[in-house]
Amino acid sequence: MLENAWLAWMILGSPLIAFVVVGLVGRRLPEGGAHVVVGSLAASLVIAVYFLVQVLQQGAIGNSTATTVPGFTWIPGDPATGEGAIGMNLLIDNLSAFLLVLVSFLSLLIAIFSIGYMHEEAGKPRYYAEIALFVAGMLGTVSADNFLQLLIFWEIMGLCSYLLIGFWYHKPEAASAAKKAFLVTRVGDVLFLAGILVIWNVFHSFRFEEIVQKIPVLWGGAYTPQLALLIPLFLFGGAVGKSAQFPLHAWLPDAMEGPTTVSALIHAATMVKAGVYLTARSFIFLVPIATGGGILVQAVPWNAILVIAGIGAFTAVFAGSMALANYDIKRVLAFSTISQLAYMFLGLGAGAYLMASEAAHGSTEVATAGYSAALFHLTNHAFFKALLFLAAGSVIHAVHTNDMRAMGGLGKLMPWTSKTMLMGALALSGIIPFSGFFSKDDILAVTFETGASNPLFYLMWVAGIGTAFMTAFYTFRMWLMTFHGEFRGHGHPHESPRVMTSVLIVLSVFTIASGAIAFLTNGFGNLIFYEEPHAALPLITPLLEANVVELALTGLSLALALAGVGLAWAVYGKRVISPSTFTKTPTRAFLHSMLVNRYWIDDWYNAFGSRTVAGFARAVDWFDRNVVDGIVNALGRGGVVVGALSDLFDRKVIDGAVNSISLETIRSSLALRTRQTGQVQNYTWVIVLGIVAILVLAVLLGILPRILGRP
Amino acid sequence: MGIFLSLLLIVPLAGFGAVLAGGGTLKRARTIALAFSVADTVIATVLLLSFLGPWFEGLVGARTPYATPAGSYPLYYLERYPWIPPLGMNYIIAADGLAAPLIFLTPLLTTLSIVFSWNKDVRPRQFFALLLLMEFSISGVFLAMDFFLFFVFWEIVLIPMFFLIGIWGGPNRQYASIKFLIYTHVGSVIMLLSIFALYWNGSEGLNRYVYGTTARTFDMTVFLIGATNGPAYLAILPLATQIPIFVAFFFGFGVKLPMVPFHTWLPDAHVEAPTAGSVILAGLLLKMGGYGVFRIGLGMLPAAAKDMWWILAIFGTVSMVYASFVCLAQVDLKRLVAYSSVGHMGFVLLGASSLSAIGIAGGIYQLFTHGLITAVLFMLAGTIKHAAGTRDITALSGLGRQMPMYSTVLIVAFLASVGLPGLASFWSEFFVFAGWFNGLATGPWRALIIVPLLSLAITAAYYLWTLQKVVLGEPRRELGHLHDLNEHEQISYTVLLGLIVFAGLFPLPFFGMILDYARTLAAIMGVP
Amino acid sequence: MIPVEYELILSTALFCIGLYGVMVRKNAIIVLMSIEILLNAAILNFVAFSSYAPPAGDPAGQVFALLAIAIAAGEAAIGLAIFLALYETHGTTELDKIRLLRW
């Protein structure tokens, strides 16, 4: 049990309050309310650290602790059983406590950086309000205790991402990129929602803890093998959208139209990691826990795990290759982010497979190395990618362009930026002893180890080390093109203000040091783990004690990374090899243009969207106007025709009869009116003659006595 | 037997008379109309609060389910006065979890329409009087518990709407208003047939069963309470009788709802109608169809509903997918919103087709939330037509700079319509899906849920496309200088957006009463 | 005593004279006078039958006669007043010039 558990709500609450304050009165605050947001994030960070310390103390290192902080009930459950209640609670366990600290720390740094970076922008209150809301969403996502709540915060993040990508909304590219980001992730969200519906249907609950307990109970009953396969795949669909994995990767490079701080925070350090987080949470389906502990091997969806790992391995190579030929400094980083996220999925997939197959072989120990390796990489990547993006932002701030062809030689002009960015580049390339090395090597080692259970993982491992080579190459290509050689742009770039460089320095310290977390905790697997701690790699001691194969693997990946750095140096540093070598022959030129055009996938998507879908929509619209409405109108016209016919009948036949009668009446009366002279004496004549005629008739008929009556 | 519910009818009717009598000028007409409508809103709010929990019950009186010899039914505050007793026609009104949110919505939207049309200087007396007449008749539809009364109100509704479109409408108003009148009238005539079928076939036996009176009756409670006892009900109204009656009712309600393919009166009516007319048409008139599906289709003909739920599901799904594709091709903002209404009403049918408590509750909640959201959307279409002179999406651009308040409202309303969490319609859509998934579909058929789910993505697509064109980008010079929202528009939008956010963050107040009612229905159906 | 037949013949003669005047003469005054003659013919009949009624006559006939005379006076006054008005409006009392009843 945590002390002062209610304070956990303030982790989310404080940026939310900042959102409201800045949203309402930000215009009147200095710097558009930046200080309010920074303060609120600092408060979040303090509280999050407070809880992380508690979690670590209570569980010691290597023990798990989970506390649910109660919130409020949205929908009460069934009145009889209480089942099916939907509430909003926070789950503080090792994973969420750690991520809360990570997210609030990075958000704080980036918010501070923004003070300098966004100084000259109009619309700062909007920016800071949305940043605050975003951070609240991200913190809510990682601390949600059920899938529905997770989805809700997930969508809030998506909304903020949409708004922030479109921050310069008057730019058509930004508007279009924002739309694209929302729509593509929306496809993933729909799958996520479908997964949640299936979960609700099977378990009548969204809460992680209840689901864990119910899986072994319902297995074989409501929880069938098909559903066991379907649920994690649906959830992974959401992760693919959010984390920009193939085939829903197209939005992330375009999302670079937003401010660089947004790219750093949302599209590198935090939001895109939510997919990884979700997949980590869906381990309860991937490697379900049996009632008495241990793993319920029958319920493991092997194919779903293979899909996750496979998508990860493929996307790693795929996105990494697209970064090779790009000239936009932010897009290189964006492709790199996709590629690194794919590493994490590979690690999660391989880890789950390893865990399950070891359990299937009768091992009692839960092998959580892949799980913790992926989350370790998540941590490290958050630091070094934020650093790289912010450094890139510092460069862009100075030269006012994203195009690396208009940079060069900035190393002398911007010493702090260049040096800190070099730290990030080394970490990203996976050079020992920078943080990226440890976690990436972990993932590759786990993948290789899983290969023993399923040879497909050897293939994925090859993809992984291939990516390591490409990563090193494009990272240093980027760094060298930016900072090395002569300045190729215009104007006089100068170093960014202290508020920005100091953040870069802090981040570069963490970039170097975050790999050391594993040493502090005797293996990252003792800090964050699934079900059982596992003093996993990387530790120098077990590494050296490990068998020759693992050492050789580490050496190989390191050598490939160094080779990548060397190649980049040869091409862009020393200029021993001319860049035009890559486009010399037609085949190479074709490959180059393929990479530049991102395998034409964006073009296909655009064509699909603007031609197929829009065309279909227009066809349906035509159908609606002409066919459906046409039938209605035809029915209406038919009614009018029937009406006209009956009108004809009415006029000619029915009304004709009536009219002819009245016509005859008029005609005869016209004839008769001449008899009406108006002369009283004429009438008198008629009366007298009439009486006479009556009398005559009466006499003639002999009825006169009857008329006169008898006396 | 109080007269509290009757106040909901008396006040707007009195307002109608008062505006006709004293509304000689625009100022007087709108003031009188607003006064009566606000009074009605207050009464409806009190009614709604009384459903929320024990704290507010004292406002109206003890809330006890309506009890009869054959059992009780969750109808509250029932009022019964004889009207034409020999024919079995009575004045019966009552409220429950299904009707209360809609009854609340009716005066609310009317009031906001009056505020929104504050400067309507074309025949103001008639305009505001008709709005109040509309309020009266729609409240009557939701309150009536007697078929004859129900039908009378149902028909009265058409008259003010016909005139609102026909007099204050756009250039093609003649066509639209006549189409609206004839189309919906055909629907109600067919509905009338099935009312008579129930009157002649079942009412006598059920009246004897429920009240011990042997006489034909139009009393709806007879059918509602009779239906709670399945076997007895089936003995009097066998399935073979229920099905044709159900189909006829469903057609009548389907036209009103509207569902594809009986929807084409809607876009025309909306495009031509004045803003207040559109708000009421989409916010309230369509809800009558949904209300009927739940009250009569599910509540009185449960066996037929259970037999034919898949037809509802198909119509609902087709409406959702079809309408969202049509939306994608629209360039008129109002037409887009109109078609999106068709799609959102598909959720209602889908929720009803689940026959499960959660699904039914989601469908009813969708009626409520869509009423709020679509009102905002139609007001937005009206505002931009007034400000920029056009509703053409391709002609508008960069409103984010020129009309920041308008753009904010537009974004929030669109996102609410997309179903973003934290805004009202998320819950209704979510529960529709969850309930459907929990409903009668079995095995692989469940996988078909992905079809309506994908329409969510398309819904997002057309709204975002519109946002990109309208709000984002550079302002167009030829539109000139555009004025942002005036105070009356601000009031309307603030109230509605506030409710949308409230109903999204705290759905329980509304959802709880709906769920109580839905559980009754689901229990009759025998679906969890 | 004069036999009743004589009186009836006189009455009939008067009636015929009056009828002739009404039907043929154009001057309204003369038509009015002719109507008076018609009335007197009827009054004569009343009086004649009154004295011959068995056993000793019936006074009712004489009462009727007196009543009829009184009313005839009134009628003549009204008739003359109408003719006066007619003369004022139409400038004539010739009956065939006055066509008010003709539509």
Local confidence band at A548 (pLDDT 50, 70, 90 cut-offs) = low
Are C100 and A678 in contact (CB < 8 Å)? yes
Counting CB pairs under 8 A, whether chains A and C reach 3 or more, is yes
Number of other residues whose CB lies within 10 A of the CB of residue B121: 10
For every residue of A555-582, DSSP letters joined together read: HHHHHHHHHHHHHHIIIIIS-SS-GGGG
Dihedral of alpha carbons B141, B144, B150, B155, sign? negative
Q: What gap in Å lies between CA A201 and CA A223, rounded to an integer?
A: 10
Least CB-CB distance to C23: which of A676, A677, A681?
A681
| Cα separations in angstroms, A18 against A6, A24, A39, A41, A139 | 19, 10, 9, 9, 14
Q: For A134, phi and psi rounded to 5 degrees?
A: -60, -45
pLDDT for B133: 93
* Nearest chain C Cα distance for residue A630, angstroms: 59
Using a CB-CB distance cutoff of 8 angstroms, which residues of chain C are in contact with residue A680?
A: 95, 101
Q: Give dist(CA B322, CA A627) in Å, integer.
A: 14
B189 contact A CB<8A: no
Cα–Cα distance, B313 to B293 (Å, whole number): 13
CB B461 within 8 A of CB A183: yes
Least confident range from A260-269, A449-458, A478-487, A547-556: namely A547-556
Interface test with A, best of C20, C23, C26, C49 (most A CBs within 10 A): C23
Tell me, what's the pLDDT at B142? 93
As a whole number of angstroms, the distance between CA B506 and CA B502 comes to 6
Q: Which amino acid is at B286?
A: L
Element (H, E) at A444: helix A435-450
Residues in chain A whose Cβ is within 8 Å of chain C: 673, 676-681, 684-685, 688
Q: Give A323-372 pLDDT, tens digit per residue.
A: 888 888 888 889 999 999 998 999 999 888 888 888 888 777 777 778 88
- For CA atoms C26, C29, C33, C35, the dihedral sign is positive
Angle (nearest 5°) at CA A63 between A62 and A68: 140
Residue B265 to residue A629: CA distance in whole angstroms: 8
Closest Cβ–Cβ partner in A148, A183, A614 for B460: A183
What's the pLDDT score for residue B465?
86
Q: Least CA distance to C94: which residue of chain A? A: A679
Other CB atoms within a 10 A radius of the CB of residue A261 amount to: 25
Tell me the two tokens of residue A125: 């209150």
SS3 A249: coil
Of C19, C26, C99, the CB nearest to A678: C99
Classified as helix, coil or strand, B368 is helix
Answer with the residue of higher pLDDT: A705 or B215.
B215
pLDDT at A535 > cutoff 60: no
pLDDT tens digits for range A223-267: 888 888 888 999 999 999 898 888 888 888 888 888 888 888 888
Q: Which bin fits A598, alpha (ψ -120 to 50), beta or left (φ > 0)?
A: left
Query: Left (φ > 0), alpha (ψ -120 to 50) or beta: where does B34 sit?
Result: alpha
CB-closest option in B420, B472, B512 to A170: B472
Condensed to tens digits (0 to 9), the pLDDT of residues A667-680 reads: 888 887 777 777 77
Q: Find out whether A111 and A131 touch, Cβ atoms under 8 Å.
A: yes
What's the pLDDT score for residue A63?
64
Q: Is C101 on the interface with A (CB under 8 A)?
A: yes
Give which of B37, B48, B36 is closest to B4, Cα–Cα: B48
Q: Do C96 and A681 make contact, defined as CB atoms within 8 angstroms?
A: yes
The answer to whether residues B368 and B102 touch, using CB atoms and an 8 Å cutoff, is: yes
Residue B252, token pair as written in the block: 């009548």
Distance, in Å, from the CA atom of B227 to the CA atom of B205, rounded to the nearest integer, reads 12
Neighbouring residues of B299: CB distance < 8 A, sequence distance ≥ 6: B223, B224, B227, B521, B524
Q: What is the pLDDT of residues B310-346, one digit of tens each?
A: 888 889 888 988 888 888 888 888 888 998 999 999 9
Distance CA B330, CA B297 (A): 33
Question: Which chains neighbour C (Cβ–Cβ under 8 Å, 3 or more pairs)?
Answer: A
Which of B183, B437, B464 is nearest residue A183 as measured by Cβ atoms? B464
What residues pair up with A88 in beta bridges, in sequence order? Answer: A72
Contacts of B343 (CB under 8 A, 6+ apart): B319, B320, B321, B322, B323, B324, B327, B455, B459
Mean pLDDT by 10 residues, chain C (103 residues): 85 92 87 91 90 78 90 90 87 77 59
Q: What is the pLDDT along chain B (528 residues), one digit of tens a residue?
A: 578 888 899 999 999 999 998 878 888 888 999 999 999 999 999 888 888 876 776 677 777 888 888 888 888 888 888 888 888 888 999 988 899 999 999 999 999 999 988 888 888 889 999 999 999 999 999 999 999 999 999 999 999 999 998 888 888 888 888 888 888 888 888 899 889 988 888 888 888 888 888 888 888 888 888 888 888 888 888 888 889 999 999 999 988 888 888 888 888 888 888 988 999 998 899 999 999 999 998 888 888 888 888 888 889 888 988 888 888 888 888 888 998 999 999 999 998 888 888 889 999 999 999 999 999 999 999 888 888 888 888 888 888 888 888 888 998 899 899 888 888 888 888 888 888 877 777 767 777 778 888 888 888 888 888 888 888 877 877 777 778 888 888 888 999 999 998 888 888 888 888 888 888 888 888 776
Which one-letter DSSP state was computed for residue B296?
A: I
Query: Tokens 């240093």 appear where?
Result: A476
Cβ B256 vs Cβ B292: under 8 Å: yes
Least confident stretch, A464-468, A641-645, B463-467: A641-645
Q: Is the separation of the CB atoms in A272 and A335 below 8 Å?
A: no
Half-sphere exposure of B293 (CA within 13 A, CB side): 36
Cβ atoms of B33 and B113 within 8 Å: the answer is: no
pLDDT band of A541, cuts 50, 70, 90: very low
Q: Which of A10-14, A146-150, A355-359, B369-373 has the lowest mean pLDDT?
A: A355-359
Count of residues making up chain A = 711
Please tell me the total number of residues recorded for chain C in this structure: 103
Q: Which chains pack against A, by 3+ Cβ pairs within 8 A?
A: B, C
Distance CA A382, CA B165 (A): 58
Amino acid code (one letter) for B240: A
The whole-chain average pLDDT of chain A stands at 83
Contact A16, A44 (CB under 8 A): no
SS3 B64: coil
The residue of chain C with its CA nearest to that of A675 is C102
| Nearest CB to A159; choose among B398, B420, B434 | B420
Contacts of A705 by beta carbon, 8 Å cutoff, 6+ apart: none
Predicted local distance difference test score (pLDDT) of residue B15: 92
Q: How far is residue A683's CA from residue C48's CA, in Å, rounded to a whole number?
A: 31
A311 or B52: which leads in pLDDT: A311
Beta strand extents in B406-522 (DSSP E only): none
For chain B, the chains sharing at least 3 beta-carbon pairs closer than 8 angstroms are A
Helix, strand, coil percentages in chain C from 3-state DSSP, rounded to 5: 80, 0, 20
Q: What is the 3-state secondary structure (H, E, C) of A182-220?
A: HHHHHHHHHHHHHHHHHHHHHHCCCEHHHHHHHHHHHEC
Q: Which residues of C touch A678 (CB under 8 A)?
A: 99-103
Helix B173-201 and helix B265-272, axial crossing angle in degrees, nearest 10:
130
Would you say B313 and B350 are in contact if contact means Cβ atoms under 8 Å apart? yes
pTM: 0.81
Closest CA to B469 of B374, B372, B328: B328
Which whole number is the average pLDDT over A631-655?
Answer: 80
Residue C96 at interface with chain A, using a CB cutoff of 8 Å:
yes
Chain A residues closer than 8 Å to B471 by CB: 169
**Which residues does chain A have within 8 Å of residue B460's beta carbon, measured at their own beta carbons?**
182-183, 186
State how far the Cα of A285 lies from the Cα of A233, in Å rounded to an integer: 10
Q: Among C20, C96, C103, which would you mutate to test the A interface (most chain A Cβ atoms within 10 Å of its Cβ)?
A: C96
Q: Kindly report the CA angle at B520 between B229 and B226, in degrees rounded to 5?
A: 25
Residues 6+ away with beta carbon under 8 Å from A634: none
What whole-number distance in Å separates Cα of residue A68 and Cα of residue A71? 9
- Tokens representing residue A302 in the block: 């092997």
B107 C-beta neighbours (distance < 10 Å), count: 28
Q: Which two tokens stand for residue A453?
A: 């259970």
The answer to whether residue B421 neighbours chain A at the CB level (below 8 Å) is: yes
pLDDT of residue A62: 59
